[in-house]
Structure 1
Amino acid sequence: MPQVALSSDFLKAFAQIPRNKQKVVREALEKFKRDPTTAAQNYEKIHTLDDKVRTIRCGIDYRAVVIHPPQGDVHLFVWVDHHDEAMDWARKKRFEVNKHTGTLQVYEVLDGGGVPTDAATELGERPSAPVETVEAERVPPGRLFAGHDNATLLLFGVPEPLLIAVRALREEADLDGLVPYLPEEAADALYLLAAGYSPDETIDELDRAKPAQRVDKAEFDPDDFAAALERPGTQQRFTVVADDHELAEILNAPLAQWRVFLHPSQRKLVEMKSTGAARVLGGAGTGKTVVAMHRARHLAKSCPPDKKVLFTTFTRNLAADIQAQLTTLCRDEGARIEVVNLHAWAAALLQSRGSKVRTPTREQQLDAWAEAMSHDPQETFRESFYRSEWNDVVQAQGILEEAAYLRARRAGRGTRLSRQQRKLVWEVLSAYRRALQRRGFMEPADVIREARLLIESGKVPLRYVAVVADEVQDFSEADLRLLRALVPEGPGDLFLVGDAHQRIYGRGSSLSRCGINVRGLRSRRLRLNYRTTQNIRNWAVSVLRGVSVDDLDEGTDDALRGYHSLRSGEPPRIEPQRTERDEAALILAQVEHWSKVQGRPLAELCLVARTNALLRNRYAPLIENAGYPVQHVQTDESTLGDGVRLATMHRVKGLEFPCVLVAGVHRGTVPLELRDYPDDAARQAH
């Protein structure tokens, strides 16, 4: 029986066709798996650049594009569409195993002898017949890859027919334009080389084997599809279907490609055998959470029956999202993964031991502060200073006594305190704690601390073999100390995922100060953005250029070097308005254009503002009065009904919408008015 492999392009195309036609395609696929030679399939060669291209009939008017293996019996399904459109899609593409990397590649060759005509013309090299490779020939000065020779570019997966176009590039914006024609493995490497990485650094960053490290120094067999499909570089775009059950699972959710395809850099992290805690950094959209979920599944497969893997997050919303997605990703191993927000886990532990966990509201906290402020009748410091000192020093470091506060770290706090001033401040802070205790309240940091102390006392048996934590950039030091206590130190014990650029709660913490060592090879970075278009990424990066961020462990993180996107699209538009009335008119015009002119479902539109008050009082009434329903994104966005999505900047983090409108971006709102923040450090954090 022939084997079938599906490409990510095939699944994208499959998702776009009508449901009744999807059923026909499914049936054709199943018949092909049983017998591709049956006459009803009409399995035939077509006139294309690549003579391996075939098509099969899917009903009367649809065709699936199939790549016939030069040897063996693995057939690649790479596209499905109306008859003529399917033919056009395949006509100028090549499907081949790269002899230098061993990866199965798909790339497009246009008129002009192997180079996209517009790219070659704009970039100053005349299209010609496929280049006769002189491997030592270097790219001339003034070009993006000046100094690199052809052999280096070929080593990183640049197809020989596209070598001219790559050599002609002058700046990174030109590379953005060429990326749609390039195999992904080549684009990944070229972005790093363009960012200044040396060839050796690029190989290390992409976790590729150096030529000298390969056991077999010969070129890869270009006809061996089966071997190519076993390599990580191929598996980021192709998956071999094991059986009919797996085929049905994949086709039931063709857009959930994160379940099926992993980039080699992601797969390496999922399957890594670390000697201890591991840290994964990555910008927005690089698939950190996807890696974390696959890592949890990977660990759960070898988990003893009486143990579990804990997957924990900073926010409750993300924990709910993760639980739903793991349900679709996992089979039996899902029962061995526990997903819970860290604060909820700690509260449940204390409650199981008889403690009453009552968290104060903001109003109840303010009442307690009013009582505590009576201990500073001279108002030496403002109440906002005491609140900040309480959260960022006392609670963050788990301080319970005056002696500990007098020697506590206060780096970055802005306001220097003498020993005498610290004593005065402690009187107010300890009075606040007593006020909470009299009222029977525990702040989240208290819950976290008490849970950790209970574990460290040995009274709670440890039932986890590993902990996977997402959103680590927002965890306090108290949170991180609890993570460290949850699982014994050992191989693969902690897998921590985060990005300081996305920190929206707190000030950041040091892993090493909390007993978590991630130095060396156990700290890795993801640089490929799957969610954001290159146009939006370029704009966002320009805003962040020169901004220093930490690496979650007292070091700095060169987060933006080599960071790039796979997708392209429209650049962001900035539309300054003079008045709220002008802004309202623009918002309604844009919603109307997206929904009525472009025909987009309202659930694809999201209006984002800085605060819930703005959404509730200004933008929700505006849109509803124009006749459009709205849905406030509070927890799981996927469960909401029809309507324009409204979300705060905090809540929208990690979500994806085709159309986003950011409203109310004016002085005093973005960043939020800072009058209540007591020092420079607090202002910087917000």
Structure 2
Amino acid sequence: MPAGDSAAHEASRQLALAAAHERAAADARATASRYGVASATEQRTAAALAPLAAAGYHLLADRQWPGSRRAQVDMVVVGPAGVFVVDTKAWADVTIAGDRIHRGQDDVTDELMALADLAYRTEGELAEVGLAPGEVHAVAVLAGRTGVDERVGPVQVVGDRDVLRQIARRGARLGPRQVDAVLARCLEWFGQVGDPAPVSTTLPEPVLPAPRGPVLLADDAPDGSDASAAVVPEQRSAPDGPEPLLTDSEVHQAMLEGLMAAPVEEWMAFLHPAQARVVRRSYNGPARIRGAAGTGKTVVGLHRAAYLARTRQGKVLVTTYIRTLPDVLRQQLTRLAPDVVDRVEFAGVHETAKRILDERGVTHRIDGKQIASAWTAAWGKVAGGSVIDTDRHEQDYWHEEVSYVIKGRGLTRWEQYADLPRLGRRHRLGPHQRRVVWELYEAYDRELRDRGVHDFADQIALAEAELRREPPTDRYTAVVVDEAQDLTCMMIRMMHAFVGDAPDGLTLVGDGQQTIYPGGFTLAEAGVSVAGRGTVLDVNYRNTREILQFASMLVRDDEFADIEGATARGDRPAEVPRTGPKPVYVRCASEADRQRRMVLRVHEVVAEVGTNFGDVGVLSLSRRGVEAATEALKKAGVPVVNLEKYDGVPVNRVKVGTVKRAKGLEFKQVLVVDPYASWLTEKVEDLDDVDRERRDFRLRELYVAMTRARDGLWVAAI
């Protein structure tokens, strides 16, 4: 099918569906009389929502208010857009200002907060079947009003002429099976009080001819005014008047908007019940969420950030060591929870530190060339020709020792380093070696000062010192750290300083098995305790069993120092429900042969597996590998985007990048394009501690790369 035909056909199909809904609307309205609603105003709301029944929604009217013997819920709507707990108010002289709602002179906010509380409890009940927090909505309908779109706390306030559009425009967030599971739970939660069964109308898929030309879509009708005025428009007619609530064209337009809205990925609206419970769980201090690769830690962290933003005053910070990941997470939250995305701040740890220093007027200067010059000068003055200048270690090893072990842990005195357990570093240092390393650190620090620059570890230390000097009072209500195992001790201290030990203040999300940076530490060193506040996710939702089994062979003997202080071998998921083809491992004759096979593999998965270019990730352990893969793919006419420039906006281009840039991401198909076969066959017993350490980090990085794959994995070695 030529490019564009499938989109045109889909548009034509959706228009036909909308026409079917329009024809069904009149019949659907008639069903409102079956609801047995108690008042004319509620009947109007039922009539307004009735067309939803033709689009896979279930309307439960006059249900029992859970926990109450006498109170009833006007309407519960369950369907593709989620769950809506609806209450109709026949209020006159309504004003909304400052998160309060008044009826005349009376403050009636508490009445809406009772509805909000019910929605919150319903959210917890439906978490048991996996409905994500945020998919349950409290909606107050003002009878006889139009053009109302306001919020009072967590309650959406709309007119009865606006409520259909309000629900329909959210589009499809749940599939039919998910709707059935949620409906079954709602029927139990909201007990019957003698009303008829829920109305559910199913429309057959329209039979469409093959598209013959371009499909023209009418412009969307103007939305209900997003009024900033505090005064709610007055009623246009009496609630029980004969005027039709919505015309057929208005129903058509509202339903069409919902049908044309892009559906979200399943994980955005439906989680495993264990994940949904973790998102809503309350901790009385800092907490940690961990689990093996593929168990949904980043997803849970993102949902938790949205949940905290909904249930707390103030902003929530989501941060990570990976510079490009915050942009991707921001795009995901924009689709997942558009109602709170403006209350969640996404920033890398270094970006956050820079903002603190800028706001407080602390002078600091980062200059890569000057930093490199400072290191070279310090090495020449102290370490060159010394006991640490050996063939076994390159200068990078000692630069990491200074940056991560000494500066990353905030050490300022020789005595602190002399007997320090160097977590994550297998090569043991004797007293003489340590003394030389410490002198190298001091020389490097002097060289930086002489040049008037700071390195990135200094930036973190300066910001952390500022937060200790003058603790922030209300900047963030909560901080969620993704890939927490990649942060240094000083970074954790800085994030902890924002919220302290406040309940639900700090959430650390990560997996020690995926640590790919040297210089481990313990949370105790950072002044953070998560004792009794840890959760382990143990179901792998991303990978197939075959992919996980293949990747896990790389780290089966790996031991690492976990941030909670224990030596661990990695969590193993208790369940891996998905299966698929075995990973493909190929030996290539040369680098040119590997690039040729890589291009063929990309075309193969796109053509035969039905994957789009945008679903393919080509990952390398080095920038040189990224450059080679990018050049080969472009030469073959394959569209590519570098992960350093990828911001999470869907794009139909193969994503090429280093493994470090791929952390937190996933792809349907992953190609790992620069390992050497010898890496996979090295025997631990034949290696000394230096090579063993290098091997550990290299294999962990390959493990991270392979576990980005959802459906297919291809590894090419030479």
Q: Shorter-chain-normalised TM-score: which range? A: 0.5 to 0.7
Do 2:18 and 2:255's aligned partners in 1 also have CA atoms closer than 8 Å?
no
Q: 1:281: how far off?
A: 0.6
Q: How does 1:628-639 map to 2 (within 5 A)?
A: 628-636=638-646, 638-639=648-649
Q: 1:25 to 1:482 in 2, by over 3 A?
A: same
- Summarize the Cα distance change of 1:597–1:271 in structure 2 as closer, same or farther, 3 Å threshold: closer
Could you say what secondary structure the match of 2:477 adopts? strand
Alpha-carbon displacement from aligned partner over 1:312-359 (angstroms, at most 9, x marks no partner)? 111121111122222233344333322211111111111222233322
Match of 2:535 in 1: 524
Are 1:308 and 2:308 matched, yes or no? Answer: no
Shift of 1:516: 1.5
CA distance in 2, matches of 1:453, 1:102: 41
Identity %: 28
TM-score by length of 2: 0.60
CA distance in 1, matches of 2:574, 2:19: 41
Structure 2 portions without partners, runs of 5+: 1-5, 32-50, 64-74, 81-125, 131-176, 192-199, 201-250, 390-394, 699-718
Partner residue of 1:379 out of 370, 373, 386: 386
Report the secondary structure of 1:510's partner residue: coil
The CA deviation at 1:414 is: 4.1
Partner of 1:264: 273
Say yes or no: does 1:294 pair with 2:294. no
The secondary structure found in structure 2 opposite 1:309 is strand
User: Residue 279 of structure 1 corresponds to which residue in structure 2?
Assistant: 288
Once the 2 structures are TM-superposed, how far is the Cα of residue 245 of structure 1 from its aligned partner? 8.4
Q: Deviations over 1:589-631 (max 9, x none)?
A: 3233334556654333332222221231x33333333333333
- 1:130-179 per-residue CA deviation (whole Å, 9 max, x = no partner) reads xxxxxxxxxxxxxxxxxxxxxxxxxxxxxxxxxxxxxxxxxxxxxxxxxx
Check conservation: 2:423, 2:520, Cα contact below 8 A: no
Distance 1:534 1:16 in 2: 38
Q: Distance in 1 between matches of 2:688 and 2:633?
A: 32
Structure 1: which 5+ runs fail to align? 1-13, 40-57, 79-100, 106-182, 185-220, 232-239
Q: Once the two structures are superposed, what CA deviation does each residue of 1:3-58 show, in whole Å capped at 9, x if it has no partner? A: xxxxxxxxxxx99982332344456568768854879xxxxxxxxxxxxxxxxxx9
1:327 aligned residue? 334
Are residue 580 (structure 1) and residue 591 (structure 2) matched? yes
- Shift of the 681–395 alpha-carbon distance from structure 1 to 2, 3 Å rule, reads farther
Match of 2:241 in 1: none
Residue pair 2:483, 2:664 contacting (<8 A) in 1 also: no
The residue correspondences of 1:339-354 to structure 2 (distance < 5 A) are 339-354=346-361
SS at match of 2:645: coil
Give distance in 2, aligned partners of 1:576 and 1:335: 49
Aligned partner of 2:186 among 217, 221, 226: 226
- Tell me, what secondary structure is at the counterpart of 2:278? helix
Instruction: Tell me which amino acid in the other structure corresponds to 1:283.
Output: A
Which has the larger displacement, 344-353 or 399-408?
A: 399-408
1:100-179 pair list within 5 angstroms: none
Greater RCO structure (CA 8 Å; 6+ sep) = 2
Amino acid at match of 2:324: N
2:490 to 478, 503, 509: 478
User: What is the rounded CA distance, in whole Å, between the counterparts of 2:582 and 2:466 in structure 1?
Assistant: 52
Provide the secondary structure at the position in 2 that maps to 1:528.
coil
Q: What displacement does 1:451 show? A: 0.9
1:535 aligned residue = 546
| Deviation of the 1:492 alpha carbon | 1.2
Q: Which residue of 2 aligns with 1:18?
A: 10
The 10-residue stretch of structure 1 (423-432 or 632-641) with the greater mean CA deviation from structure 2: 632-641
Contact preservation (8 Å) 1:310, 1:339: yes
Relative to the length of structure 1, the TM-score reads 0.63
Q: State the match for 2:516 in structure 1.
A: 504
The residue matched to 2:641 in structure 1 has which SS?
Answer: strand
Instruction: Using the TM superposition, give the Cα deviation of residue 398 of structure 1 relative to its aligned residue in structure 2, in angstroms.
Output: 0.8
Equivalent residues in 2 for 1:549-560, closer than 5 Å: 549-556=560-567, 559-560=570-571
Which whole-Å CA distance do the structure 2 matches of 1:377 and 1:559 have between them? Answer: 38
Q: Secondary structure at the match of 1:371?
A: helix
* SS of 2:657 mapped into structure 1: strand
Per the alignment, residue 90 of structure 1 pairs with none
Alignment check: 8 A CA contact 1:372 1:429 kept: no
Mapped pair 1:652 → 2:662: yes
Change (3 A) 1:417 1:549: closer
- How far did residue 494 of structure 1 move? 1.0
Following superposition, the deviation at residue 681 of structure 1 comes to: 3.9
Question: What residue is the counterpart of 1:428 in the other structure?
Answer: 440
1:612 maps to: 623
Structure 1 residue corresponding to 2:418, chosen from 382, 398, 406: 406
- Report the CA distance between 1:103 and its aligned residue: 8.0
1:370 to 369, 377, 387: 377
Paired with 2:338 and 2:59, the residues of 1 have a C-alpha distance of 32
Alpha carbons of structure 1 residues 385 and 662: separation in structure 2 relative to 1, 3 Å: closer
Secondary structure at 1:379 match in 2: coil
Distance change in 2, residues 1:598/1:400 (3 Å): closer
**What secondary structure, in the 3-state scheme, does the structure 2 residue paired with 1:574 have?**
strand
Please tell me the root mean square deviation across aligned C-alpha atoms, in Å: 4.4
